[in-house]
Structures are given as C-alpha cells and as structure tokens.
C-alpha cells in the first residue's frame, strides 16, 4: 500500500477566530500553522489566504506573500492554492493564484447550496475554463467533489480533454448541501472513480477522523485542518493544525500505514520531484 499523504487545510475562507483563536489570518500566522502541520507529518498545505482582518481574498500578491513565508519554514512542502475562493467571486478572481504556477491547485467540480442563500456556483463552463487553464499552465488539479454528480462531471470533462489523467480527487464529505459523511457514502464515492486515480478524503466536523480512518485502511489519503474542523475531540479545541495532523499520523501508525514525505507525495501524485 502506498504511503499516506496528509494534507493540512490550515484556514479556509469561512472559519473564524471566533470558532477557534488559533485560526490563522495574517502572513505570520499562516506560516506558523503550516509549520505546525508540516512538522507533524503533513506533506501538502491546502491554502486559502485572508487579509489581516480575516476577510478572504484571492489576490495574487497576498498568495505570493503567504507562499513565500511558508516556503521559508517548510521549503519542500507541496503548496496547493484554492481556486474556490469565497461565494460571489468571479472566475478570473478565483483563478489568480494559478498565475504563480503552483504544482497543484483545486478545481471544484459542481455547484453547491452552502446554506441559506449562499450558493457556491461552478457551472460546466466554469469547470472547463479552470481545467483548460490548469492544463495550459502545467498545474495538476485536485478535483473537489462534494457529491457523486461532481465525480461524474469530472469524468465527463476528462473524456472531452479538459481534465488530464491521472486524476486526483478530493471527497469533501459532510458539507451542507453535499453528500453526507457516513461510511456508506464514502464507499459510494470511492467506487465511483476510475482505476489509476488517487483520492483524498476531507471529512467536515465530526466526520473528520472516522473518514480519515476509512481512507487510511482503504489506501487513500487524508485532509484535515481548521478549514474542515477546529476540534481535536468532542468539545476540545485543537491548539494548532499540527495537532490535527498528529492525530491522523497516530491513526495511520496504529493501522500499519506509513506517512509520506513531500517528495514521496509528489511521486504518488505524479508531480515533479524537487
């Protein structure tokens, strides 16, 4: 079985310091949280950026600044910018970090009702636009799938040449408006991707660690972090992203799975080894 890639989603666009005081906003805080995750075994940082007041942004220069700060303390970690941004942003606004030519970036594969009047819109034309941009720039997409239909969309657009193989999926499970976080739902998604693909599971809230265990046993990969869950256990706030990564590492060791280094993760994902 391949070694386990642990991704740390250190801040997201929605979670706030009101939810957990350790959620990073500033450049220095993002570097601190990335380092805590890296030291605990994360080989990839899934990155949103904020302004210092916590406002989410896709500004290319803010990404450049945060990435440089993370590189100083984690020189070999894979940094995966989000092109999801926040609800209401335009396609070109969301795509700004791809201009920095990261190794990977996210590609959301469908529209989702986040709750209330918030709709995270990803039309078929948007997905095609993002997929073509990533092929042109040599960026490997992580295909963010919040439901089974989004996997089907990714496969259809792969067949039309807009998404390159081998494909890497991220099953984001337990989000309002998307698929649930049960083991049944996990198996359904897992059995829906083609042979030769890789996948990561991101369980939201209380689903984070049960789904992490399922992915570890199955041979998949795991995403944890404050974007998805701010608790180490029920009612106990995590003091850092590193604590969440460390817990996954313990689970992996108990289940007989080794954790991948950044360069081992690059080999598994078909990225250029630095």
Residue 105, SS3 per DSSP: strand
Beta strand pairing status for 78-81 and 112-115? Answer: unpaired
DSSP for 187-253 reads: HHHHTTSPTT-EEEEEE-GGGHHHHHHHHHHHT-EEEESTTT--EEETTEE-SSHHHHHHHHHHHHH
Per-residue pLDDT tens listing for the chain (274 residues): 899 999 999 999 999 999 999 999 999 999 999 999 999 999 999 999 999 999 999 999 999 999 999 999 999 999 999 999 888 899 999 999 999 999 999 999 999 998 888 899 999 999 999 999 999 999 999 999 999 999 999 999 999 999 999 999 999 999 999 999 999 999 999 999 999 999 999 999 999 999 999 999 999 999 999 999 999 999 999 999 999 999 999 999 999 999 999 999 999 999 987 6
Can the peptide bond before residue 166 be classed as cis, meaning omega within 30 degrees of 0? yes
Q: Which CA distances in Å does 165 have to 135, 159, 162, 193?
A: 11, 10, 10, 12
Beta strand pairing status for 198-203 and 221-224? Answer: parallel
CB atoms within 10 A of CB 264: 17
Distance between CA atoms of residues 23 and 120, nearest Å: 22
What is the set of domains in the chain, with CATH numbers? Answer: 6-269 (3.20.20.70)
């Amino acid at each position: 079985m391949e070694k386990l890639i642990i991704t740390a989603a250190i801040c997201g666009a929605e979670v706030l310091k009101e939810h957990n005081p350790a959620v990073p906003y500033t450049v220095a805080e993002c570097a601190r949280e990335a380092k805590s995750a890296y030291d605990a075994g994360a080989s990839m940082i899934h990155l949103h950026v904020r302004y210092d007041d916590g406002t989410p942004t896709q500004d290319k220069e803010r990404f450049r600044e945060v990435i440089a700060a993370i590189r100083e303390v984690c020189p070999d970690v894979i940094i995966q910018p989000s092109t999801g941004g926040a609800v209401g942003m335009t396609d070109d606004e969301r795509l700004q970090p791809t201009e920095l030519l990261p190794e990977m970036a996210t590609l959301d594969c469908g529209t989702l009702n986040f709750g209330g009047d918030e709709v995270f819109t990803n039309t078929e034309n948007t997905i095609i636009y993002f997929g073509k941009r990533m092929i042109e720039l040599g960026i490997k997409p992580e295909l963010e799938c919040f439901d089974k239909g989004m996997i089907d969309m990714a496969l259809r657009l792969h067949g039309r040449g807009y998404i390159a193989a081998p494909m890497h999926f991220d099953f984001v499970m337990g989000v309002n408006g998307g698929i649930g976080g049960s083991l049944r739902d996990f198996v359904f998604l897992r059995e829906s991707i083609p042979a030769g693909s890789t996948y990561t599971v991101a369980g939201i809230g209380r689903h984070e660690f049960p789904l992490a265990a399922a992915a570890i046993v199955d041979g998949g990969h795991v995403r944890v972090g404050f974007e998805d869950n701010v608790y180490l256990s029920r009612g106990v706030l995590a003091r850092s992203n590193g604590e969440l990564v460390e817990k996954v590492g313990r689970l992996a060791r108990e289940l007989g799975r080794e954790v991948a280094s950044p360069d081992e993760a690059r080999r598994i994902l078909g990225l250029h080894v630095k």
